[in-house]
């Protein structure tokens, strides 16, 4: 009977995490559209929706703590619940960065871009895939897929340095480009951080499946 209750709670936890992942995926995608199309209305909507992501994080944290207190899980079950607590923190941070990007989009909305936005949308595309695949890895308990997400981090870092170097060259050619170059570099940095958080999610999935985290001090 207790195990049935536990299984129900784990399913609820699984469903809630999938919902949060979908919310975050949409936030990244919408933030990118708002940036490229300079869509003020969409940017404001993303900022307003950040509270919903925060509420979902609080809901999942509450359920995790309830499971720990009521069920006192051990071994793999405890690793799973512990990993979910960490994963939701990273997903919430991703939501924050989508909001940060949207706030800069509002600042740039009435300005012509100093360069074609080519690599920043590529960063958005890769980070969105990372979030989607990490949630899939969680659902399917797929170690290989989680490791595939981790490998994407180098791609994001490479794109960030391309954007950074292009913006530096634009400033060298014309110092009037400096202010917007800083804003665009910040946006690229936020996408790079989103990639880091998606990598963290995948690493916690690896921990939940294997009991070993990349930090060898963390074992379960």
pLDDT of residue 1: 55
Q: What is the pLDDT along the chain (220 residues), one digit of tens a residue?
A: 567 888 899 999 999 999 999 999 999 999 999 999 999 999 999 999 999 999 999 999 999 999 999 988 888 899 999 999 999 999 999 999 999 999 999 999 999 999 999 999 999 999 999 999 999 999 999 999 999 999 999 999 999 999 999 999 999 999 999 999 999 999 999 999 999 999 999 999 999 999 988 775 555 5
| Burial degree of 142 (CB within 10 A; 0-12, 13-18, 19+) | middle
Q: How many CB atoms neighbour CB 175 within 10 A? A: 10
**Number of domains observed in the structure of the chain:** 1
CATH (domain of 189):
1.20.58.220
pLDDT of residue 74: 87
Is 21 within the bounds of a domain?
yes
Is 216 within the bounds of a domain?
no
Is 220 within the bounds of a domain?
no
Task: Report DSSP letters for the chain, one per residue.
Answer: -HHHHHHHHHHHHHHHHHHHHHHHHHHHHHHHHHHHHT-HHHHHHHHHHHHHHHHHHHHHHHHHHHHHHHH---HHHHHHHHHHHHHHHHHHHHHHHHHHHHHHHHHHTTS--SS---HHHHHHHHHHHHHHHHHHHHHHT-HHHHHHHHHTHHHHHHHHHHHHHHHHHHHHH-GGGHHHHHHHHHHHHHHHHHHHHHHHHHHHHHHHHHSB-SSTT-B-
Is 218 within the bounds of a domain?
no
pLDDT of residue 219: 52
Is 129 within the bounds of a domain?
yes
Is 198 within the bounds of a domain?
yes
Residues of the domain holding 47 = 2-210
pLDDT of residue 51: 97
pLDDT of residue 197: 97
């Amino acid at each position: 009977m207790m195990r049935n209750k536990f299984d129900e709670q784990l399913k609820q936890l699984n469903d809630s995490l999938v919902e949060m992942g979908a919310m975050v995926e949409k936030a990244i995608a919408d933030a990118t559209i708002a940036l490229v199309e300079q869509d003020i209305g969409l940017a404001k909507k993303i900022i307003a929706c950040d509270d919903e992501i925060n509420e979902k994080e609080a809901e999942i944290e509450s359920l995790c703590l309830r499971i720990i207190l009521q069920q006192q899980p051990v071994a793999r079950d405890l690793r799973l619940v512990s990993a979910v607590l960490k994963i939701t923190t990273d997903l919430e941070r991703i939501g924050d960065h989508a909001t940060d990007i949207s706030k800069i989009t509002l600042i740039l909305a009435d300005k012509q871009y100093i360069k074609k936005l080519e690599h920043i949308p590529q960063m958005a595309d890769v980070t969105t895939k990372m979030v989607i695949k990490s949630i899939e890895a969680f659902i399917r308990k797929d170690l290989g897929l989680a490791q595939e997400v981790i490998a994407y981090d180098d791609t994001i870092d490479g794109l960030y340095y391309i954007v950074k170097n292009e913006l530096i060259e634009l400033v060298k050619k014309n110092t009037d480009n400096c202010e917007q170059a800083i804003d665009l570099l910040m946006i690229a940095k936020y996408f790079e951080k989103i990639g880091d958080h998606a990598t963290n999610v995948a690493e916690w999935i690896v921990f939940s499946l294997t009991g070993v985290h990349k930090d060898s001090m963390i074992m379960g």
